[in-house]
Chain A
């Protein structure tokens, strides 16, 4: 490929943001800023689809590779994608326009700055999924903190300052250790290009500590128990669009990091630490599900359910079986869509009656039936109803884990039941029952833009629930390659140590 399509897809949103930044303050600034950002993000979505169309499903290794000299003699600016990253790029490009549409209803002040932040964030997020060099990856990974910090802090709820700081400092603390590890890898192998590191192979004695350093960053981002506490705060206080991006994409960076870096670069350490991951994931699944049951705030409930769902993802990824990793990937994508939709649903209610508490509502179905329908669809998808993407993800993960250990599979299955419990209870309390509150009676149903967004999301969740082939095909070869490499590396290191 001569045409730098990846650079284009990364920097197009930044271009849009710069364009909006240069607007003069006038009466119609907000409107034109919205138009420009919608146009940019939709153009990026089209580019992403075009990229998917060009993408060769049967090619092992990275495609669309771009290489430029960057820090001379040390580091190259290297981009490229495989079957895993293309799906995340699609997800990012798909979620961003939805966020921009949602802010038309929910963000009332400083719209221009908000759109700039969202577009800049899109650049950094896509950059994370495209980079094939550890330093470039770190650059994009960390840079995403700046716009997200501002989104939570400026447009957030009452305790926004606390949440923004907690989010920023937690993530930064996790990441600086990763920076030490990245620089160490450079001095051990002489490069930070991950394809060359895979060939050189990091000696097994270094792998454990490096794995832990990377883990500290990805575990916070994921988030895994016990470093998940920033997530409920950040979710609750962030504006709707911020929660959506956080849940749909930022959390996926952790899982992506495990798949892209931890497993291929440190196979020995991965095998060594797998029991720990299982243990932490199981705690996350059971404990946070129980915590979610007790929540009175809808956003907090969904935030805790995210932690539980991410528990399945880590469980699936670290089974290192085909089904497990497929399931983990699928679960990430489906959670990206479903949790985004659930946060949008909560946002719709919040925009109307300015309360996120469950007890404010009840009997919503009587006044706004259309809204209730989509809400129920997404609640059922979240609990893994067959026919939705949520089911496939959990199902594949469970298949993977039952191959590894019967007992762990059994405990993880309890989580499915708990998930159904809190989701159904939430639906019961919010949607059904008698109207207790007068405010609920006068609620307006979803307007055109909200309805369209939720309808599109629901359609996608159901379509891919019945017909997951396109997604599975895209990542099939890559995941097979990942597992093969992992097993070969493990044998290589075992024979080297003997």
Chain B
């Protein structure tokens, strides 16, 4: 038993910075800029701290907290995406009067929750992390408290999410009842195939996790919350909690439920197929770009889950690669959405994009690249994400899953093409206000460059992920 606090250094640092920044925010007036900059600084320092820790797998606090290369990778992914989201959404936040100093602090709090989630090796720590994350997200969804849509989405998210958390907690308690422990390793050793109780517990836990990553049939909150929340918050929702949720799902498949993998798999295959189909079909009729992105994210989670469904290490790796590339696309497209400002007001209607390629060729080409990448057309990054996932899916002989997945790619290509059609083929209908902001253009540029040049180094990301997995 070790109590080496160095292992917990990133979490401790993050907690202390949250408290310090919170105090500063309370005592200084108009402290939004200060708080944001300090939060960004804290995140950057956090990256350095995490990179400096070792990657060997160590468990502390009676094996309830685990630090390994996998958790490290996910944490860095979370921080980097948060930095870009915070940077690119500044203009939007200030224009919409949601520049409250709590905003970045709540984001930091939710990150702290995610850190504990991905590092947990114990049901209690896992649940605490999950709840810290979720509670921060409810507040974040309703951060624009004078706006009915935002508050409504916050309440909706809270009610549905609380239900799923309850189910998840019920599953955890069942698991404790059947195995006598909350520790993942002990659960792993005492579970075996055929135990009805463990299957019950597993299903309840899966429901909770599927809700967090918004997989079908637990996706109902996603379109409403995505649409109602301020765009800057939607941007965060569509990227960061998904990584954490998927990472935990994989952790669950790897450790506590390794022995009943067969039962897991059937359910995950179903969830994956359902998500891919719904994500492809339901997005077709949408006219609000945030709602469309909500359905698109459901579809993408379906593809990522297809990799998880294989139940092999290579499958998990392909899912992590998928979600990483997805995040690049998601952050890029939301950065483009932040530029959709017409006559001083931000717009979410897809039709407001009509013919903007004539007036704003650079915005148009960014949309073009990211949308084709989301549709999975080579040679862009999104294609490789799908390619790696289906590589492992077919390796494991799951042809049905692969064929359904690729056919839904064709269907979903339709609605991505529809946006491109509106941008490029339709008549020009009014230009956007000029937003000159280096963070937004830099984020878009970086995202596009990564996606376009991905084919030059297609295995770098894979190598990093496999290095992380084997450690």
Which A residues have a C-beta under 8 Å from some C-beta of B?
70-74, 110, 113, 135, 138-140, 142-143, 145-146, 149-150, 153-154, 160-161, 164-165, 168-169, 172-173, 176-177, 179-180, 183-184, 186-187
Is B409's CB under 8 angstroms from A168's CB? no
Q: Which of A139, A140, A142, A183 contacts B390 (CB 8 A)?
A: A183
A161-B421, A186-B391 given as contacts; is B402 within 8 A of A143 (CB)?
no
Q: B residues 50-64 with Cβ under 8 Å of A? A: none
Contact check, B394 vs A172: say whether CB atoms are below 8 A apart.
no
Q: How far is the CB of B61 from chain A (nearest CB, A)?
A: 38
Taking a contact as CB atoms under 8 Å apart, the answer to whether B372 and A183 are in contact is no
| CB-based contact A180/B403 at 8 Å | yes
Contact between B406 and A139 (Cβ–Cβ < 8 Å)? no
Query: Does any Cβ of A come within 8 Å of B462's Cβ?
Result: yes
Q: Are A154 and B424 in contact (CB under 8 A)?
A: yes
- B435 at the binding interface (Cβ < 8 Å): no
Residues of A within 8 A of B458 (CB): 70-71
Whether B414 and A169, one on each chain, are in contact in the complex, defined by CB atoms closer than 8 angstroms, is: yes
Counted as pairs of residues, one from A and one from B, with CB atoms less than 8 Å apart, the total is 85
A403 to B: closest C-beta gap in Å: 39
CB distance from B169 to the nearest CB of A (A): 40
Asked whether B395 is an interface residue with its Cβ less than 8 Å from the other chain, the reply is yes
Which B residues lie within 8 Å of A154 (CB)?
Answer: 357, 424-425
Q: How close is B80's CB to chain A, nearest CB, in angstroms?
A: 24
Is the C-beta of B410 less than 8 angstroms from some C-beta in chain A?
A: yes
A146 near B377: Cβ-Cβ < 8 Å = yes
Do B391 and A142 touch (CB < 8 A)?
no
A71/B414 contact (C-beta < 8 A), A146-B377, A183-B390 known: no
The 10 residue pairs across chains A and B that have the minimum distance between CB atoms: A176-B406, A72-B459, A139-B378, A183-B394, A71-B459, A153-B425, A142-B378, A173-B410, A71-B458, A143-B379
**Cβ-neighbour of B424 out of A70, A153, A177, A180 (below 8 A):** A153
Besides A149-B420, A176-B410, 10 more A-B contacts (Cβ < 8 Å) are A71-B458, A71-B459, A139-B455, A143-B377, A154-B424, A161-B421, A165-B417, A169-B413, A172-B409, A187-B394
CB distance from B212 to the nearest CB of A (A): 30
Give which listed residue, B358, B379, B395, B417, contacts A149 with CB less than 8 A: B417
In the complex, chain B residues whose CB is within 8 Å of the CB of A168: 413, 417
Q: Is there contact, CB below 8 Å, between A145 and B377?
A: yes
Cβ-defined contact, B455 with A176, below 8 A: no
**Complex contact A180–B463 (CB within 8 A):** no
Q: Is the CB of B399 within 8 A of A180?
A: yes
Q: How far is A153 from B406 in the complex, measured between Cα atoms in Å?
A: 24
Q: How many whole Å from A366's CB to the nearest CB in chain B?
A: 39
A176 vs B377: C-alpha distance in the bound complex, in angstroms? 10
Cα–Cα, bound, A145→B413 (Å): 12
What A residues does B455 contact at CB under 8 A?
139
B96 to chain A, nearest CB (A): 32
Contact A169 B410 (CB under 8 A): yes
User: B396-431 toward A: CB 8 Å interface, digit per residue (1/0)?
Assistant: 000100110011011001100100110011000000
Subset of 21 A-B contacts with CB under 8 Å: A71-B459, A72-B459, A72-B462, A72-B463, A74-B459, A135-B387, A139-B383, A142-B378, A149-B420, A153-B420, A161-B425, A164-B421, A168-B413, A169-B413, A169-B417, A172-B377, A172-B409, A179-B406, A180-B394, A184-B399, A187-B395
Distance (Å) between the CB of A240 and the closest chain B CB? 18
| B374 vs chain A, min Cβ distance (A) | 13
Q: How far is the CA of A293 from the CA of B449 in the complex (A)?
A: 50
Chain A residues within 8 Å of B421, by CB: 153, 161, 164-165
Residues of A within 8 A of B361 (CB): 113
Closest to B406 in A: A176
Identity of the chain A residue whose Cβ is nearest the Cβ of B411 in the assembled complex: A169
Q: A391 CB to closest chain B CB, in angstroms? A: 39
Residues in B lying within 8 Å of A, measured CB to CB: 357-358, 361, 372, 377-379, 383, 387, 390-391, 394-395, 399, 402-403, 406-407, 409-410, 413-414, 417, 420-421, 424-425, 455, 458-459, 462-463
Please report the C-alpha to C-alpha distance between residue A14 and residue B19 in the assembled complex, in whole angstroms.
52
Closest to A109 in B: B358
**A79–chain B nearest beta-carbon distance, Å:** 14
Q: How far is the CB of A46 from chain B (nearest CB, A)?
A: 26
- The answer on a CB contact under 8 Å between A180 and B425 is no
Verify A165–B414 contact, CB threshold 8 A.
yes
In the complex with contacts A72-B463, A153-B424, A161-B421, A180-B377 CB distance below 8 A: no
What separation, in Å, do the CA atoms of A143 and B413 have in the docked complex? 14
Q: How far is the CA of A46 from the CA of B379 in the complex (A)?
A: 27
In the complex the two chains form, what is the Cα distance from A176 to B390 in whole Å? 11
The verdict on A164 contacting B425 (CB below 8 Å), with A70-B458, A176-B409 known, is yes
Q: Least Cβ distance of A404 to chain B in Å?
A: 35
Inter-subunit contact A71/B462 (CB<8 Å): yes
Nearest-neighbor residue (CB-CB) of A213 within chain B:
B403
Given the complex, which residues of A lie within 8 Å of B463, measured CB to CB?
Answer: 72
Q: How far is the CB of B138 from chain A (nearest CB, A)?
A: 39
Q: In the assembled complex, which residues on chain A have CB atoms less than 8 Å from the CB atom of B383?
A: 139, 142
The answer for the CA separation of A110 and B410 in the assembled complex, in Å, is: 29
Asked if B406 and A143 sit within 8 Å, CB to CB, the answer is no
Taking CB atoms, residues of chain A closer than 8 Å to B387 are: 135, 179, 183
Enumerate chain A residues within 8 angstroms of B413, measured Cβ to Cβ.
168-169, 172
Distance in angstroms between the alpha carbons of A82 and B402 in the assembled complex: 34
Question: Cα distance A150–B406 when bound, in Å?
Answer: 23
A183-B378 CB under 8 A given contacts A165-B417, A172-B413:
no
The answer to whether residues A138 and B406 also contact, given A70-B459, A183-B390 and a CB cut-off of 8 A, is no
Distance in angstroms between the alpha carbons of A168 and B418 in the assembled complex: 12
Q: Please, which residues of chain B bring their CB within 8 A of the CB of A145? A: 377
- Shortest Cβ distance from A116 into B: residue: B365
| Nearest B residue to A154, CB-CB | B424
| B307 → A minimal CB distance (Å) | 13
Q: Which residues of B contact A110 (CB under 8 A)?
A: 358
Residue of A nearest to B361 (CB): A113
**A73, A110, A139, A176: which has the most chain B beta carbons within 10 Å?**
A176
Report B-chain residues with C-beta under 8 Å of the C-beta of A153.
Answer: 420-421, 424-425
- Let me know if B402 and A138 touch, CB within 8 A: no
